[in-house]
Amino acid sequence: MEIILKKDVANVGYADEIVEVKTGYAVNYLIPQGFAILATASAKKVHAENLRQRAHKEAKFRTDAEALAAKLAATPVKVAVKVSESGKIYGSVTTAQIAEALAAAGVEVDKKDITFSADAKALGSYEATVKCYKDIKGKVTVEIVAE
């Protein structure tokens, strides 16, 4: 029996694949659990159209993400922090501070998408990674300066 998978199923296939399985497995498990639908001619047409539209949207998201990554690389940001007399910073620089600095520079990024793993204990220039879309990441230079 031919079915269209709605979700990933171990040892069967991945979501949006058309696969051949035994009739009992499809009728008694996959279809009632919502893991698959029957692959009729009309369902195949709808499935093909959905994949085509999804590919178009995916391409648009990718181009937008690549443009954002390029904009991030060209936009260094400065984060002002309190500093001791020896030059060490009090506390640490957070992703929220970096997101605020990027917003001030005109680039809207969610703080959850920023990865700043540098052990920033002193003033200087560091690099943060911003997840733009799935596998597209942008790098932004973060300069820590004294208030």
What pLDDT, on a 0 to 100 scale, did the predictor assign at position 50? Answer: 94
**Could you tell me the mean pLDDT of each successive run of 10 residues in the chain, 147 residues long?**
95 94 97 96 96 94 95 94 87 92 94 86 90 92 92
Residue owning tokens 């694949």:
17
- The residues with which 119 forms a beta bridge, in sequence order, are none
What pLDDT shows up at residue 117?
Answer: 76
Structure tokens at 79: 């984060």
Is the pTM value of this prediction over 0.85? no
Domains of the chain: 2-67 (3.40.5.10), 68-146 (3.10.430.100)
d(CA 71, CA 87): 31
Q: Which long-range contacts (CB under 8 A, 24 or more apart) does 58-63 make?
A: 61/133, 62/133, 62/136
Is residue 95 within 8 A of residue 116, CB to CB? The reply is yes
pLDDT value of residue 85: 86
Task: Quote the CA–CA distance of 76 and 138 in Å, as a whole number.
Answer: 12
pLDDT, residue 134, reads 84
pLDDT for res 129 = 94
